[in-house]
Structure formats: C-alpha cells, structure tokens
C-alpha cells in the first residue's frame, strides 16, 4: 500500500484503482474521508472567494463612482458569472449561502477599504444587497 504522506499522487491513483476493482476492504478510509471533506471545503472557499471579489468591486463601484471603468465592470461581470457557475455545480452550498455571503462581505469591506483609502466604517456593516441583486447581471449599485 502506498503511503498517503509520502506519495499523495500515487496514493490517489491506488485508491481509485481499489475503488474501481471493488476492493473496498483495502481502502485507506480515514484519509479518503479527509480528502473528500477537503474537496468540499475547497468548493466552498472558491465560492466565497468569487463572492468576496464581486462584493469588493460592487462596494468600489458604489463608493468611488468617479473611478468606475470597464475594468471594474468586467470584474463584476466575471465574478458574478463564476460564482453562479460554482453554485450551479455545487447546489449543496445553497444551504450555507447566507453565511458564505456574510464571510465574503467581511473580507470585501477590508479589501475595498484598503484599495480605496476609505475607512471601513463608511461601508454598511452587513451586505446591503440581496442574493437576487448579486446574481442580476444588470444590477450595479448607485449611491
């Protein structure tokens, strides 16, 4: 049996082969469970990351209207599309979406504050936009 710590790639290939062959008793169950959980956390982090960038740019769009440009609009459009794609591929994340948005918003405020030079207290304490607005390609906030 290939050691999980010593050769991760080899271990994954061995585990896949054992699964295909139906040799379930030989599987490294403990490490397989950990890897499956890690994959789920990775998808959640990807969704939160896309939302964070989207929210950051929506904040900048609203609070620095004089600096709006095609680059910000593209980033908003791209992140909106990608977060919806991740959510479509992982519908199980919908049950955690409000919490994910709250966490992403907290990070977005920090980044928007840093990039704009505006104090964090300028921005709303909680995300001011609904999920529908975040998904709406035509939605761009105004001050």
Please check whether residue 7 lies inside any domain of the structure. Answer: no
Q: What is the pLDDT of residues 91-111, one digit of tens each?
A: 999 999 999 999 999 999 999
- Specify the number of domains making up the chain: 1
Please check whether residue 104 lies inside any domain of the structure. Answer: yes
pTM of the entire predicted model: 0.85
143 pLDDT band, cuts 50/70/90, is confident
Place of tokens 């704009």: 116
Residue 55: Cβ-neighbour burial (10 angstroms; 0-12, 13-18, 19+): buried
Please check whether residue 64 lies inside any domain of the structure. Answer: yes
Please check whether residue 89 lies inside any domain of the structure. Answer: yes
Please check whether residue 5 lies inside any domain of the structure. Answer: no
Cβ atoms of 107 and 57 closer than 8 Å: no
* Rounded mean pLDDT, 125-141: 97
Collapsed DSSP state (helix, strand, coil) of residue 117:
coil
Please check whether residue 95 lies inside any domain of the structure. Answer: yes
pLDDT at 19: 96
Please check whether residue 69 lies inside any domain of the structure. Answer: yes
- What is the extent of the structural domain holding 109? 42-135
């Amino acid at each position: 049996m290939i050691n999980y710590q010593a050769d991760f790639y080899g271990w994954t290939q061995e585990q896949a082969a054992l699964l295909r062959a139906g040799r379930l008793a030989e599987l490294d169950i403990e490490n397989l469970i950990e890897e499956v959980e890690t994959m789920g956390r990775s998808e959640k982090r990807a969704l939160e990351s896309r939302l964070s960038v989207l929210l950051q740019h929506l904040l900048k769009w609203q609070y620095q209207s004089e600096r709006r440009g095609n680059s910000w609009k593209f980033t908003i459009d791209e992140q909106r599309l990608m977060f919806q794609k991740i959510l479509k591929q992982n519908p199980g994340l919908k049950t955690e979406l409000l919490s994910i948005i709250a966490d992403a918003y907290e990070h977005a405020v920090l980044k928007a504050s840093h990039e704009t030079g505006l104090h964090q207290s300028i921005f709303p304490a909680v995300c001011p936009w609904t999920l529908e607005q975040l998904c709406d390609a035509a939605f761009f906030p105004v001050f």
